[in-house]
C-alpha cells in the first residue's frame, strides 16, 4: 500500500472533506482543513498540499471511487487536480467535529480580543475585561461561525451582547477614493469591514465611499485595502 493510502486509511474515522454535488452526483476529496479553507479563499497554495490523497471519491468513508466516466461528463476532465480544484472552490468544506470545535475556539478568542480592544462600557467609558466579554457572549447565546473571519463577526456579536451588558464600539469614519480598475472588487471589502454610509461612482469609474468602521479594525482595513488595490487608494479620516 502506498504511503498516501496508508495515511488515508488511518484518517478515515476523522476525515475533513470537500464535497460538491453536480449533475445529481456527489464528488468528494479528503483535505487538510486549514489549507483547504485558505485555498478556497484564494491563497496561493499548491493544491497537492491541500489534498490528503490525490483521489476523487463517490463515498470517501467507504473508499468508493468516483466514476471517471462521470468526471469526464460533468467536469470535462478526469485530471484529479483539476477536479479537486473545482470541488474546493465550488463545493463545501465539511469539517470534523473535533476540528470545528478547535476552529470555533480560535475564532472566539480572536473576537474577544477585538471587542476588548475596541469596545467600551458607555457608562464608565472604560473597556470591559476579557472575562466579562466572554461571559456576556455566553449569556447572549452568541454563535461563532467557523467559516467567517473574526473581524466580520464582531459587529453582529456586539449587537447581541447589548441585550445583556452596556457596550458600544468606538467607531471611526473614513472617506476612501478607489481607482476604477479596483473599485468593483474593493466595494465588497468596504462592506465586510464596516457600514457604507455614502458612495459615489465617478464619471471615470472610480469610487468615493464613506464608511463607519470599528476603530480597532482600522489598521487591518488599511492593510487589506492596500493589498487589494496595490496601494492605489486614498483614505482620510473624517471627524
3-state secondary structure of 42: coil
pLDDT for the residue numbered 95:
86
Q: Which fold has domain 97-169?
A: Arc Repressor Mutant, subunit A (1.10.10)
pTM, two decimals, is: 0.58
- In eight-state DSSP terms, residue 138 is H
End-to-end CA distance of the chain: 67
35-60 burial: b if 16+ Cβ within 10 Å, else e = bbbebbeeeeeebeebbbbebbbeeb
Phi-psi region of 42 (alpha: psi -120 to 50; beta: other; left: phi over 0): left
Give me the residues of the chain with pLDDT under 50, please: 1, 6, 8-13
Taking the C-alpha atoms of residue 129 and residue 144, their distance in angstroms, rounded to an integer, is 20
Domain ranges of the chain: 15-94, 97-169, 171-238
Write down the CATH number for the domain with range 171-238.
3.30.70.240
Tally helices (H) and strands (E) across the chain: 10, 11
Model confidence pLDDT, tens digit, residues 66-110: 999 999 999 999 999 999 999 999 999 988 888 889 999 999 999
Pair 176, 193: CB distance under 8 Å: no
pLDDT for the residue numbered 90:
95
Closest C-alpha among 161, 185, 195 to residue 233 = 185
- Confirm or reject CATH 3.40.50.300 for domain 15-94, answering yes or no: no
CB atoms within 10 A of CB 220: 15
Q: 15-94 with 171-238: one CATH topology?
A: no
pLDDT for the residue numbered 14:
67
Strand partners, 214: 171
pLDDT for the residue numbered 222:
92
Amino acid at each position: 500500500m502506498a504511503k498516501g493510502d496508508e495515511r488515508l486509511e488511518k484518517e478515515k474515522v476523522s476525515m475533513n472533506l470537500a464535497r460538491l454535488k453536480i449533475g445529481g452526483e456527489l464528488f468528494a476529496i479528503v483535505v487538510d482543513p486549514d489549507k483547504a479553507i485558505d485555498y478556497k479563499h484564494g491563497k496561493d497554495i499548491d493544491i497537492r498540499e491541500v489534498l490528503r490523497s490525490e483521489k476523487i471519491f463517490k463515498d470517501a468513508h467507504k473508499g468508493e471511487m468516483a466514476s471517471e466516466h462521470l468526471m469526464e461528463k460533468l467536469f470535462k476532465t478526469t485530471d484529479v487536480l483539476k477536479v479537486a480544484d473545482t470541488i474546493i472552490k465550488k463545493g463545501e468544506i465539511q469539517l470534523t467535529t473535533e476540528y470545528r470545535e478547535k476552529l470555533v475556539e480560535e475564532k472566539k478568542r480572536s473576537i474577544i480580543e477585538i471587542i476588548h480592544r475596541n469596545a467600551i462600557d458607555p457608562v464608565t467609558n472604560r473597556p470591559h475585561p476579557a472575562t466579562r466579554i466572554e461571559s456576556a457572549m455566553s449569556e447572549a447565546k452568541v454563535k461563532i461561525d467557523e467559516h467567517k473571519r473574526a473581524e466580520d463577526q464582531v459587529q453582529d456579536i456586539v449587537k447581541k451582547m447589548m441585550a445583556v451588558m452596556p457596550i458600544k464600539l468606538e467607531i471611526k469614519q473614513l472617506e476612501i477614493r478607489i481607482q476604477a480598475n479596483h473599485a468593483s472588487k474593493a466595494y465588497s471589502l468596504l462592506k465586510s469591514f464596516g457600514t457604507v454610509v455614502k458612495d459615489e461612482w465617478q464619471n471615470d469609474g472610480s469610487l468615493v465611499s464613506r464608511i463607519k468602521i470599528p476603530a480597532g479594525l482600522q489598521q487591518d482595513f488599511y492593510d487589506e485595502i492596500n493589498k487589494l488595490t496595490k496601494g492605489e487608494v486614498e483614505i482620510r479620516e473624517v471627524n
